[in-house]
Amino acid sequence: MPAALALVFHAHQPVGNFDSVIEDAYQTAYEPVIAALERHPRVRAGLHYSGFLLDWIAARHGEYIERLQRLWTAGQIEMLGGGYYEPILAMLREPERQAQIARQNRQIENWFGSAPRGFWLAERVWEPDLAASLARAGLQYVIVDDTHLQLAGQPEDAVWAAHWTEHQGQRLRVVASDHFLRHAIPFLPEEQSLEYLAQAARRQSQPLLVMGDDLEKFGAWPHTWEHVHRNGWLERFFQRLENASPDVHCVRLGDWLWEHPPQRRVYLPAASYQEMMRWALPPELAQQLEAAAANPGLRESRRFLAGAPWRNFLVRYPEANLIHQIGVDLSLRLERVREEKARLKPTSMASWEIAHDHLLAAQCNDAYWHGLFGGLYAPHLRNTTCTHLAAADHLLAELEAAPATRCWDLDLDGAEEVELRGAGLRVLIAPADGGTLKLLESAAVPANLTHSIRRRPERYHEQIRQKLAGHSIAPLTQAQADPAGDASMLAATLIYDRYERSGGRLFFMPADMEFSGYHPLDMREIPGWADAPYAIASLRAEGSWRELDLRREGEIQGLPGRARKYYRLHASQPELETGWEIEASGLGGYRAGLEFTVNLLAPGAADRRLEFNGQSLPIEWAGVAEAPLLCWRDGWRGFQLEFEAADAVWWVQPIYTVSQSEAGFERVYQGSACMAVFPTARQGRVRLRWSQIRAA
């Protein structure tokens, strides 16, 4: 019997991505692939576009939707559903799971006349309870990865069949994308994929082979347009598929599953595709697995090289976990408001819906992880997520007055965070991490003004060092021509932070410490205090201030000492004051530095500036500002943030990371660190003032 081949092309662009980037993907991949399908009517395929992207295309290229409709009417394509904003569905609470699915289902039904049968699982991140969520939403099948079946103990050829799975009495069909086809198409000669299909037909009766992968690799990835389109790979592949009978025939996946119901049940573990689970590991463990892969006795065991589930990214990157847990908190608050105010006035209900949509947009997956792809290291994507979260919070606060102070374990790590609110500012403080400022959020922008990311080792950084040492290194994918780029410049940027990137982190440094020691973050500080846990002494909202007092007792240079740290947020003015007092012997040879992070996103933009003593400098400036006042001006978003520290000077240093993308390696500005350096260690304070300015 011939092998049934189900081609499924998935297209997605992150919320907040630049229009020029999306347009380029449209011109190089989205449009040419549809044109190729139009030229080859016997080639059937499934198509999935994240809802945000499909609406973007409809607004700018309406004729593309009409072409899809014609292919749909002719029975050539099937439209798959998904989460509208392409979230990692497993990380969402059930109300948002259903909202994301329902919104894209409605979109497809409006344009194509019927709701989708199949579901594209973002990054193929599966957890067992998703079966019930998808079935409740009316979906009939989902595409996972063949790694899922292997980890479930299934035989090798199980990937060429459909299965049932269930959860809490809800049943769902499961099919797996074939690992070989996913990598062979379009990077190997087309004959190899066709021979693989023919072998499957000889080995198994009526095998189903699914190739589900990114549409962008058919022209939008670096160097793929020439291979796929100019050099004719896709045209030759489609021609051969049309003439391949009786070895293979193309099917729409939903049609095939309707005619060939699954014969067996399977229970899949929490997993994703193999590369994703490797990326989710800490670098040292990933390197151990790679070394094990070189062992001939283990080379064929992909189970051994499984890696970690997707949620491990929330452990590896506290920055991702923070925005995730802020979203969970918003979801709970939105649910409570709707339940308590079931009879909301129409205007209030409209505000609730807008707030909820901001939350859904913030759940777009790209800003929560990083591997060969993924946007955790992309400041504009993290900023978009933070902006949607802040906008949702602002609208929700109008429906239900938020308390001036709140104390709870937001990130579920066993330690409480403290929230202060006043005059359009929201502050989040982590007493257990040095009493630091995790969030400074403005409702008027809306934005998180301090978001950045810790510089940490990544597994691929070693390739940069190898290239600098003169070693030849292979590209990480077929799409990469020069994976390490300017190795010397990148290697000089590989500086790693010893603490999370937060505001208000307090360092006790030797009095002879110079600015030159600030760059490698080797400040010879008194150990155990920069990230020391503080106890909450008092939390109150009285009069004009919301105040948090923190206390810590412990040894300082081997002698007993005690410290007080405090935050005061004004109720009616956008102003925050923080400071400390310390009682200890043996501090005569030390001074203190109180460090903050500011991120205005675009270091080369003329409308973003750093000002002090009448000077106006680029925001990536580094040096010593002999002035008590620093002013960060953002003309794009129309605000400025002033840091004032009497009797102090400011050390300023840009923060760069080296991250990986489709094109190789890139040096990315992640904001600037600014430290108020005081002459003594005994006490000090910094006042932050936010104000609106005319946008550029």
- Owner of token pair 């060939």: 260
% helix, strand, coil for the chain, step of 5:
35, 30, 35
Question: Terminus-to-terminus CA distance in the chain, angstroms?
Answer: 66
SS3 679: coil
> What average pLDDT does the structure give for the chain?
91
Q: What angle do CA 529, 530, 534 make, to 5 degrees?
A: 65
pLDDT 10s digits, 191-219 = 999 999 999 988 888 899 999 999 999 99
Q: Bridge partners of 377?
A: none
CATH, domain range 3-272 = 3.20.110.20
Residues forming CATH 3.20.110.20 domain(s) in the chain: 3-272
Task: Give the closest residue to 455 by CA, choosing from 415, 428, 490.
Answer: 490
Q: Determine the Cα–Cα distance for residues 375 and 696; give it in Å rounded to an integer.
A: 27
pLDDT 10s digits, 241-264 = 998 777 789 999 999 999 999 989
- Answer yes or no: are the C-beta atoms of 168 and 160 closer than 8 Å: no
Q: What is the pTM for the complete model shown? A: 0.94
pLDDT at 482 (0 to 100): 43
pLDDT 10s digits, 625-683 = 999 999 999 999 999 999 999 989 999 999 999 988 777 788 999 999 999 999 999 99
The two beta strands, 639-644 and 629-634, are: antiparallel
| pLDDT > 60? residue 303 | no
Q: Determine the Cα–Cα distance for residues 94 and 114; give it in Å rounded to an integer.
A: 24
pLDDT 10s digits, 145-161 = 999 999 999 998 899 99
pLDDT at 305 (0 to 100): 54
pLDDT confidence bin for 485, thresholds 50/70/90: low
* Whole-Å CA distances, 262 to 172, 208, 256: 10, 11, 11
Angle in degrees, 0-180, between the axes of helices 31-39 and 233-242, rounded to the nearest 10: 30
- H-helix or E-strand spanning residue 384: helix 379-399
Q: Determine the Cα–Cα distance for residues 337 and 186; give it in Å rounded to an integer.
A: 50
Tokens of 81: 């559903």
* DSSP letter for each residue of 263-317: -SB--PPSB--HHHHHHTS-HHHHHHHHHHHTSTTTTT-TTTT----GGGHHHH-
Burial 413-445 (b: 16+ CB within 10 A, else e): eeebbbbbbbbbbbbbbbbbbbbbbbbbbbbbb
417-455+495-692 is classed in which CATH architecture?
Distorted Sandwich (2.70)
Q: Determine the Cα–Cα distance for residues 408 and 626; give it in Å rounded to an integer.
A: 39
Cα-only R_g, the chain = 27
* DSSP letter for each residue of 422-468: ETTEEEEEETTTTTEEEEEEETTTTEETT--------TTHHHHHHHH
Q: Determine the Cα–Cα distance for residues 342 and 331; give it in Å rounded to an integer.
A: 16
pLDDT 10s digits, 444-464 = 889 899 889 999 999 888 888
pLDDT at 295 (0 to 100): 67
pLDDT at 25 (0 to 100): 97
Task: Give the closest residue to 256 by CA, choosing from 219, 313, 209, 211.
Answer: 209
* Whole-Å CA distances, 438 to 253, 478, 479, 693: 46, 39, 37, 25
- Owner of token pair 């890696």: 307
Q: Determine the Cα–Cα distance for residues 65 and 322; give it in Å rounded to an integer.
A: 38
Residues forming CATH 2.70.98.10 domain(s) in the chain: 417-455+495-692
- Answer yes or no: are the C-beta atoms of 99 and 137 closer than 8 Å: no
CA 283 to the chain's CA centroid: 18
| pLDDT > 70? residue 293 | no
Q: Determine the Cα–Cα distance for residues 223 and 499; give it in Å rounded to an integer.
A: 38
